[in-house]
Amino acid sequence: MGGCWHKIVKDLPHQKRFGSLPAVKIARLGVQKNRQGKGVGTALLNMTKRLFLTENRTGCRYLTVDAYVSPEAIIFYQKNHFQFLTHQEQRRAEELLNSATKPSGSENETVSLFYDLSRTLME
């Protein structure tokens, strides 16, 4: 575990550190093109955050997503306070986004990001 993942577990007592932490994966979040930029995606994320904070019987602490490597997707998740899971994921996204010649199949490349639900409790 490295990068941001280390930041997550560093505050946990040693006996409570595990190789994985309770998380919910957001899969295939999308908004119709004519509705993009109007707050629909952010509203969906906020609703999901509230769902897991209100009478959370799942014990989940994090939301995760494998976001497509596109400027729009990365910016969207970062505006909604998601962070790259590791520094390696961030570097890979930057390399793919900055590449003058995109490798074949790169339009389907994803990177992992996470959101700490305890952040919402503090806001």
Lowest mean pLDDT among 96-100, 102-106, 109-113, 115-119: 102-106
Per residue in 13-62, pLDDT tens?
A: 655 555 567 888 998 888 999 999 999 999 999 999 988 888 767 788 89
Q: Which residue has the higher pLDDT, 113 or 2?
A: 113
Asked whether residue 80 carries a pLDDT value surpassing 90, the answer given is yes
Angle at Cα 20 formed by Cα 16 and Cα 25, nearest 5°?
130
Query: 0.85 cut: is pTM over it?
Result: no
Q: Where are the domains of the chain?
A: 1-6+61-115
Nearest to 61 by CA among 14, 1, 12, 13: 12
Distances from the Cα of 5 to the Cα of 10, 12, 88, 95, angstroms = 9, 12, 11, 20
Contact 53, 117 (CB under 8 A): yes
Measuring CA to CA, which residue among 86, 40, 88, 89 is closest to residue 69?
Answer: 89
Q: Which of 56, 34, 40, 27 is nearest to 120 (CA)?
A: 56
pLDDT at 1: 39
